[in-house]
Structure 1
Amino acid sequence: MAHESNRHEPRQSRLRHRLALWGFLGIALFFLWTEHRAHLLGVLPYLLLLACPLMHLFMHGGHRSGHGTGTPDEKENHP
């Protein structure tokens, strides 16, 4: 019987370590958020401005698909 309980100790120990780690990370994130919320939220307008040129670059696909290169059926569907 003593051998069976020793076999499960590493699993319980790992579970305790993981719970302690997640608890510590949760507390750390809470304090980081409460102390630095003004700094993080103050950057949001600049992130929106930065998103505009990045979306233009990545969503247009480099303008490889021109408007005049489609088939006649595609030209009727796209103004």
Structure 2
Amino acid sequence: MQSRHQQRHHNWVLWGFIAVAAFFLLTEHTAHVMGILPYLLLAACPLMHLFMQRHHGGHHDANGKSSPSQEQDEGEGS
């Protein structure tokens, strides 16, 4: 089993390797990276809507009942 110090050392080595790899990927393949950016932007829009719309659609508690403020609003409309 590794000590905590060894685990931290391995984490630093891993992050250092990732940083160096990212640097060389960007410097050596800038044209490829820049060419895919518009597609990433277009893909980000529907993904953002998919994940951000999850919390809309009503104020229900864990049991599926409406919150008290929503029940009052529904009662005032009739």
Higher helix share: 1
- What TM-score, normalized by structure 1, do the two folds share? 0.45
Larger Rg: 1 or 2? 1
Superposition TM-score, scaled by structure 2 size: 0.45
